[in-house]
Amino acid sequence: MSDVFPERVLPAGPITLRPFGADDAEDNRAACADEVVQRWLPLPRPYTLEASVDWCTKTAHTLRESGDGVHFAIVDPDEGRLLGAIGLKRTDWHELVSEVGYWVAPWARGRGIAALATRVLGRWLLTEQGFERLELKAAVGNIPSRKTAIKAGLHREGTLRNAGRLHTGRIDVVLYSLTPADL
């Protein structure tokens, strides 16, 4: 098994998952600076255009090349506009386990996009990439993300104490998983 995920475009009906590019930088900056995203993800604060260009053109790609995971822009298939982001991180190539993370831009929320993207990425990981387990960790208080996990078909496994970090400090997280038997 290779220890780097391939660069892919994954079409999924009303959304497409594709690699980040320079054209995403302005929308990515606006979404990552959004108050709700900043509340639940410890992204740089303030989130500058410079940081966004760096993510879209370099970091998202070097993380894939390093074997840590793979990062997709979630876009509208017709207009190509950025709607969100989803990625795999902390990949264990020996145990075949990876962890998903996501956000949806304020202008695209309320349509269940994160659940659909998680379902598509999870299936890709556990079938085409031959992995055994997808994990998702959501802050105990992050109800939209916890609902997203269940809607995407993941199973709740329990609470991990003091296992996460936000701008406000350490937090307990709820662990969810998806395995090939769930598909």
Binding positions for ligand COA, rule: CB under 6 A: 36-37, 40-41, 102-104, 109-115, 138, 142-145, 147-148, 151
Least separation in angstroms between residue 162's CB and ligand COA is 16
Q: Does residue 14 have a cis bond before it (omega within 30 degrees)?
A: no
**Minimum gap (Å) between residue 164 Cβ and ligand COA:** 8
Task: Give the nearer residue to ligand COA in terms of CB position, either 19 or 141.
Answer: 141
Spatial separation of the C-alpha atoms in residues 41 and 32, rounded to whole Å: 9
CB of 42 to ligand COA, least distance (A): 10
DSSP 108-136: GTTS-HHHHHHHHHHHIIIIIT--SEEEE
Closer CB to ligand COA, 4 or 36, in the complex: 36
Residues 6+ apart with CB under 8 A from 172: 139, 140, 159, 160, 161, 162, 163, 164
Contact 98, 62 (CB under 8 A): no
Q: How far is the CB of 3 from ligand COA (least distance, A)?
A: 25
Residue 4 vs 10, nearer CB to ligand COA? 10
- Least distance in Å: CB of 126 to ligand COA? 19
- Residues 91 and 69: their CA atoms lie apart, in Å, by 6
Residue nearer to ligand COA on the CB measure, 59 or 130: 59
- 15 phi/psi in degrees, rounded to 5: -135, 160
Question: Is the Cβ of residue 4 or residue 89 nearer to ligand COA in the bound state?
Answer: 89
